[in-house]
Structure 1
C-alpha cells in the first residue's frame, strides 16, 4: 500500500499539467511545485522524483557503508561497495539536476515510513546488528530500495518531462533491475 501512495504522488504531480514547473512555498511554508516558463523545464513529476530519490540514496549510502563492517558474506560486501560507488555518482547527478531545477534542498521526506527508504530507527537497529542477521536485513533493505526505485523511475518515463531526468530514471531502472539479480533470494 505504501508503494502505491508513492507512485500516486508522483503521477498526480505530473497529471493535468502540460506546462513546466518550479517550486514555491505553500501557505504552510512547505515547498510545492508551481508552473514556470522555459525550454526543457522540469515538471512536477520530475521535481517530486528528484526530491524523493536524493534522500533515498543518501539513506541507502549510510546502510551500504555499514556492510563493510557488519556483513559476514563476502559477496554482499562486494555488492555493497560497488553499489555505494554507483549511488555516490548517481547522487551527484540527482543533486545537479535538483540545482538546475532550482528545487529546494530540504528533505521533504524526512520521517516518512515507506519501502525503500529506511527510517532512522531502522538504520540504528541495523547498525547494531552483525553477522548473518545483518546480512538478511541488509539484503531485504537493499531489495526494497531497488524495487521502489524501479517503480518511481518508471513513473518518470510516463509522466516526467525533462530529458536529463528521464534519461537518469531510465538508467536507474536498468541498474536496479540488474542489482536485484545479484541479491540473495527472499
Structure 2
C-alpha cells in the first residue's frame, strides 16, 4: 500500500500539481492513508490518480462552462459551452462510478493547487467579472488548456492504466477532446 501512495503522489507531481511560476507550491502533503481501503485490484495507481484528478478538473470546468453559457458574447460560444458541459457532467458521473468500483475514497487532494488544465480561483473570479469579447477570448484560452491537458492525462491511462473500463473512458475522452478542440478552433 505504501507503494500505491507513493505512485499517486508521483503522478500528481508529474501532472504539475502544485507547480506554478506565479505561486509558491503548497507544502508537501503527507502520503494518503490507504490502509483503510481494500482497493479493487483491477485498478493500478495510475488509474486511481487519474480518476482522482479528473473529477475536480471536470467539476471546475463545468463551473466555468456555466459562466460561458450566460456571459459569452458570441452565441456560438454559448451553444458550444452547453454541449461541452453536458459531456463533462456525464464524464464526472462515470469517474465517480469508477472511483466507487475501485473502492477509492472521495477526496480532492488537489484543491487549491495550480495545475495545468485548471484555473486558479482568482482566475475564475476574474473571468466571472469579464464581459463581451474579452470574456470569450479568456474563456476559449482556458478551455483549450483544459482540453489539451485532458488529452495528455488520458493518453497516460491508455498506455499505463490497468482497468479496462478506465482505459476505455480515457480513449473516449481523447477522441471527444480532440473533436472539441477542432470545434473550438472553428469558433
TM-score by length of 2: 0.80
Aligned to 1:105: 106
Aligned residue in 2 for 1:61: 62
> Which 4+ residue blocks in structure 1 deviate beyond 3 angstroms?
31-38
1:102: how far off? 1.3
After TM superposition, the structure 1 = structure 2 runs for residues 28-177 of structure 1, keeping only pairs within 5 Å, are: 28=30, 30-31=32-33, 41-177=42-178
CA contact (8 A) 2:39 2:104 kept: no
User: Does 1:9 find its partner at 2:28?
Assistant: no
What are the superposed Cα offsets for residues 42-87 of structure 1, whole Å, 9 maximum, x if unpaired? 1000000000100000000000000122101111111100000111
More strand by share: 1
Q: Deviations over 1:140-180 (max 9, x none)?
A: 11100000000000000110000010000000000000000
Q: Distance in 1 between matches of 2:39 and 2:184?
A: 44
For residues 6-44 of structure 1, what are the alpha-carbon distances to aligned partners after superposition, in whole Å with 9 as ceiling and x for unaligned?
A: xx72698xxxxxxxxxxxxxx936346999686x61100
SS in 1 for 2:86: helix
Q: What per-residue deviation string (whole Å, max 9, x for no partner) do you get for residues 73-115 of structure 1?
A: 1111111000001111111001100111111211111111122
Gaps of 5+ in 2: 1-9, 15-28
Report if the CA contact (8 A) 1:61-1:87 is conserved.
yes
Counterparts of 2:88 and 2:143, CA distance in 1: 12
TM-score (norm 1): 0.80
CA distance in 2, matches of 1:127, 1:93: 28
Instruction: Check the 8 A contact 2:155/2:170 in 1, yes or no.
Output: yes
RMSD between superposed Cα atoms in Å = 2.6
Aligned residue for 2:135, secondary structure, equals helix
User: SS state of the match for residue 185, structure 2?
Assistant: coil
How many Å separate the matches in 2 of 1:84 and 1:171? 16
Q: Conserved in 2, the CA contact under 8 Å of 1:33 and 1:47?
A: no
